Amino acid sequence: MSHEPFETLAAIYAVGALDGDELTQFEAHLPTCPACEAAVRDAEETLARAVLTAPPQAPPAAAREALMRRVTERRDVRSRAWLRWAAATLVAAGAAAVFAGTWVAVRYEARLGQMAREMAAAKEALREELSLDRRAVELLRDPTTRVVDLRGRDGAAAANGRMIWNAAGGGHLLATGLPPAPPGKTYALWAIARGTPRPVGLFAVDANGRGGHRVAADTARDAVQGFVVTLEPEGGAPAPTGPIVLTSTR
Amino acid sequence: MRLPCHRGASLIVDGMPTPGTELIRAMAAGDHEAFTRFYDRYAPLVFPLVLRVVGERADAADVLQDVFWEAWRTAAAYDSARGTPEAWIVTRARTRAIDRVRAVRRRSETFVPALDAASAPAAPGGDVAERAGDRALVAEALARLPAPQREVIELAYYAGLTQSEIAERLEQPLGTVKTRIRLALARLRELVTLP
Ligand SMILES: [Zn+2]
């Protein structure tokens, strides 16, 4: 995409009016471009401040009561979720210390709130393009879910991946830009725990270089520190043998 | 130029106000009290927006509940480096409100949102008195935009139309709509940025 009109696109995106190919392209471009991301944020701040110049108006008291009741009822559940989140964060912090700065996820975790906003659009796009089931969307709503970026390596420099990962709920890998696996070969996804890869599934890519894979939760295992994708013989292997094509570590 | 900031007024009600970021952090830790204060501070600020988008007071109250429930649930993911609490809650409220309107629109396919008084080109001279009720819902910053810019913001941000739909609706080239949106944002930015 030509980068010249990015301020205009950011403004149109922020008011929710971008559509068609421009929307698709801009959303693909956004995570890769700090300038555009900043422009969108700036536009959102502007809109928020503009909106808040309207005189305040009290919502019906019943809404407040219903909401507070809902929150109180869910108290125990909510506290446990918080503990899980705290634990996951500590694990992530530990992993980052060991694998110096390897957790792209930390950055994306921070984006989850903002991602809720992109959910409506993402929901449909993901469903159509990657046939993701509702589960992925549910995962994204969960505050304990992290989104880990995978970068292309070796023979697949143009490849990109994203892992939506929840320690308790499992995850979804979304990969793009991968060349079709050569005959007799397949892509294999590995979860890294304690520095050791464990196989979590095989997948193929379509004609557009897109692939996806659902990973079941396995809470009995050690906390996952990252993910890699390698090219393996059909049928897979107990440990990676082929070249790494995608990795969440640098 | 400076606009009166209602947000400021509501912050003072709290006495020594806890920053919104602190409230969200406490919410992430499961603090009910913080959530109550967060709601009391921000709900009256975003309710006019939601009401303006969905139209019906009962629907708006529903959407508002969803918005704050979601804020409670995702508080841990909030990052103050990536936006103010105001933008966090307003963006969410606008999105949920538009979702509701679109869902209604899908159910009745022939429904086309009416160009309301505020988004119609302003009549020369005073139109304030006859639309006093409506005006109460219009953000003052928007009211200060030139009519063509206000119109595109109304149609996009409040009515949920895309740029192509707006172009078709206004019978204007897409490029014109794009330019108006960009200009509107730039102007709004000036209006709301404190010197
Ligand atoms: Zn850019």
Alpha carbons B80 and A36: distance in angstroms, whole number: 18
Q: Inspect the interface and report whether the beta carbons of A59 and B181 lie closer than 8 Å.
A: no
Answer yes or no: are the C-beta atoms of B105 and B111 closer than 8 Å: yes
Model pTM?
0.55
Task: Please tell me the distance from the alpha carbon of residue A219 to that of residue B65, in angstroms, as a whole number.
Answer: 33
Distance A11 CA to ligand 1 centre (A): 12
pLDDT of residue B162: 95
| Count of pairs with CB atoms under 8 A, one residue in A, one in B | 218
Residue of chain B with shortest Cα separation from A83: B29
pLDDT given for residue A88 in this prediction: 56
pLDDT of residue A197: 81
Q: Which of B9, B95, B185 sits opposite A46 (nearest CB)?
A: B185
Separation in Å, CA B102 to CA A13, A158, B55, B98, B167: 17, 36, 13, 6, 19
Domain boundaries, chain A: 4-53, 61-123, 146-248
Between residues B110 and B88, the one the model is more confident about? B88
> In B74-173, where does DSSP find H-type helix?
85-107, 132-135, 140-143, 147-153, 163-170
Chain B nearest CA to A140, separation (Å): 10
Digit-coded pLDDT (tens) for B50-81: 999 999 999 999 999 999 999 999 999 998 88
Residue of chain B with shortest Cα separation from A112:
B77
How far off is chain A from B19, nearest CA to CA, in Å?
A: 16
Q: How far is the CA of A48 from the centre of ligand 1 (A)?
A: 22
% of chain B beyond a pLDDT of 90: 61
Q: Which residues of A touch B139 (CB under 8 A)?
A: 50-54
Token pair of A99 as six digits = 């694998």
Residue A219's pLDDT is: 63
Query: Mind telling me how many Å the CA of B16 is from chain A's nearest CA?
Result: 20
- Amino acid at the residue A169: G
pLDDT digits (tens, 9 = 90+) for B105-123: 776 654 444 444 344 433 3
pLDDT at B11 over 50: no
Calculate what percentage of chain B has a pLDDT beyond 70.
Answer: 74
The CATH architecture that domain A146-248 belongs to is Sandwich (2.60)
Cα A34 to averaged position of ligand 1 atoms, centre (Å): 7
d(CA A128, CA A211): 13
Cβ distance of B76 and A85 shorter than 8 Å: yes
User: Does the interface ipTM go beyond 0.85?
Assistant: no
CA B114 – ligand 1 centroid, Å: 35
Contacts of A43 in chain B (CB under 8 A): 185
* Strand (E) or helix (H) holding B47: helix B32-54
Facing residue for A46 by CB, picked from B36, B75, B192: B192
Q: Which has the closest alpha carbon to B135: A57, A59, A16?
A: A57
Task: Please give the residue that has the higher pLDDT: either B17 or B148.
Answer: B148
Distance CA A99, CA A248 (A): 11
Which residues of A fall within a CB distance of 8 Å from B84?
45, 48
Rounded distance from Cα B47 to ligand 1 centre (Å): 33
Q: B46 pLDDT band (50/70/90 cuts)?
A: very high
Q: A11 to chain B, minimum CA–CA distance in Å?
A: 6
Nearest CA in chain A to B144: A50
Is the CB of A55 less than 8 angstroms away from the CB of B92? no
Rounded CA-CA distance B174/B163 in Å is 7
Domains of chain B, first to last: 13-126 (1.10.1740.10), 127-195 (1.10.10.10)
Question: Is the predicted pLDDT of residue B151 greater than 50, yes or no?
Answer: yes
Helical H segments across chain A, by residue range? 6-14, 20-29, 34-51, 61-73, 75-98, 104-110, 112-130, 134-141
SS3 A217: coil
Asked if residue A147 lies in contact with residue A163, where contact means CB atoms within 8 angstroms, the answer is yes
CA angle A37, A163, A79 (to 5 degrees): 90
Q: With cut-offs at 50, 70 and 90, classify the pLDDT of residue B138.
A: low
- Inter-chain residue contact B91 with A56, CB threshold 8 Å: no
Q: Are B60 and B44 in contact (CB under 8 A)?
A: no
Give yes or no for B43 touching A (CB within 8 A): yes
- The alpha carbon of A8 and the centre of ligand 1 are apart by a number of angstroms equal to 11
* Angle, CA of A18, A24 and A27, to the nearest 5°: 85
Contact assignment for A19 to B82 by CB distance below 8 Å: no
- Residues with pLDDT less than 50, chain A: 1, 75-79, 95-110, 128-131, 250
Residue of B nearest to A114 (CA): B88
C-alpha closest to that of A11 among A39, A34, A49: A39
Contact between B79 and A62 using a beta-carbon 8 Å cutoff: no
DSSP string, B105-129: HHHSTT------TTTSPPPSS--TG
Q: How far is the CA of A6 from the centre of ligand 1 (A)?
A: 6
Query: Is the predicted pLDDT of residue B10 greater than 80, yes or no?
Result: no
Tracing tokens 């606008």 back to the chain, one arrives at B94
Question: If you average pLDDT over every residue of chain B, what do you get?
Answer: 80
